[in-house]
Amino acid sequence: MSPRRVIGIDAGGTKLLGGVVDDDLAVRHRVHRLWRGAERQDLLDVMVDAVEEARAAAPDVAAVAFGIPSLVERETGASLFSVHLPLEGVPFRAWMEERIAMPVLVDNDANLALLAEVRAGSAQGAADAVMLTLGTGIGGGILAGGRIQRGARGAGAELGHVVVDLDGPPCQGRCPGRGCLEVMASGSAIGREGADAARRSPSSALGRRLGAGAEITGAVVTELAHEGDAAARSVLELVGRRLGAGIAGLVNLLDPEVVVVGGGAAAAGDLLLDPARAVFAERVLPPHRERVEIRPAHFGPEAGMLGAAILALEEDRPG
């Protein structure tokens, strides 16, 4: 008997990563797409196109699951709202089922990243865990008592939109908040603070990169920090400290065993996480201090795609 295979799609704020995944979580074929400022119809078409490419490589797939950066209504698979994509009020699952002749599943992207880390990654064995995915925005997932928490309508766990600076800057995308964790500590925040640092320190590697006309993104800051540029490192330190303060509050609130940090910005590794751990230890309520670990995602930026595949594999389990 051939292994069961599914397609997992992680649709982020600016890009898509998909994969054909076997039931042992081996990834057989990856598909990539970029979008930026795409309209709703284009976005959905790109997703269908990515699924078709993956299916062409593995015609025997049994189902497809999507992680989308949306508040997803659990029962209907509708996207109620998305901070970064024009997916407000889209009956996502119904629409995809009409376009793709396969079972379709959908959940919030960060919930699925958490699912992957719980089943086989950095939160394996935990009954209570928190996941943060740092990318264009910040997604989040909460595991409590062994179950992923979804709130009254499945729209919960928008950990990126807890308020960490009451009088802070306006948040990103369609979020009407101020000083949300996302605007203070996402990959986009690293890019924004990096651009500021580049202007302040024109002779740093970061400053020279800006002077050469490059856009200072989170990825650029991370690259230069790994190469040792002090200006870039101080940006990761600043953002890491904010992240640690935010995590302290979330741990006080949720009492998890472990906090997993993933998403694209997790490429910064300990340059970001060590300052976060330091502020966390300073500020969290003492009983949590020694007990709760802040760990990088085992599956790195692939956690969301693998989690989508796991969702499909678990639904598709033979009776």
Binding footprint of its own copies on the chain (CB under 8 A) = 71, 80-81, 83, 88, 126-128, 140, 142, 144-145, 147, 149-159, 161-168, 174-180, 184, 242, 245-246, 248-250, 252-257, 282-288
Tokens at 291, concatenated:
């007990």
Count of C-beta atoms within a 10 Å radius of residue 295: 17
Shortest distance (Å) from residue 309 CB to its own copies: 25
Q: Which is nearer to its own copies, 7 or 110 (CB)?
A: 110
Q: Which is nearer to its own copies, 48 or 80 (CB)?
A: 80
Half-sphere exposure at residue 104, Cβ-oriented, CA atoms within 13 angstroms: 22
The long-range contacts involving 50-54, CB below 8 angstroms and separated by at least 24 positions, are: 50/9, 50/16, 50/18, 51/7, 51/9, 51/18, 51/100, 53/18, 54/7, 54/18, 54/19, 54/20, 54/29
Shortest distance (Å) from residue 200 CB to its own copies: 19
User: What residues contact 124, with CB distance under 8 A and at least 6 apart?
Assistant: 117, 118
Q: Which is nearer to its own copies, 151 or 202 (CB)?
A: 151
Query: Cα dihedral angle (7, 188, 197, 276), rounded to 10 degrees?
Result: -80
Q: Which is nearer to its own copies, 94 or 127 (CB)?
A: 127
User: What residues contact 289, with CB distance under 8 A and at least 6 apart?
Assistant: 281
Shortest distance (Å) from residue 243 CB to its own copies: 10
Q: Which is nearer to its own copies, 15 or 289 (CB)?
A: 289
Shortest distance (Å) from residue 176 CB to its own copies: 6
Shortest distance (Å) from residue 208 CB to its own copies: 30
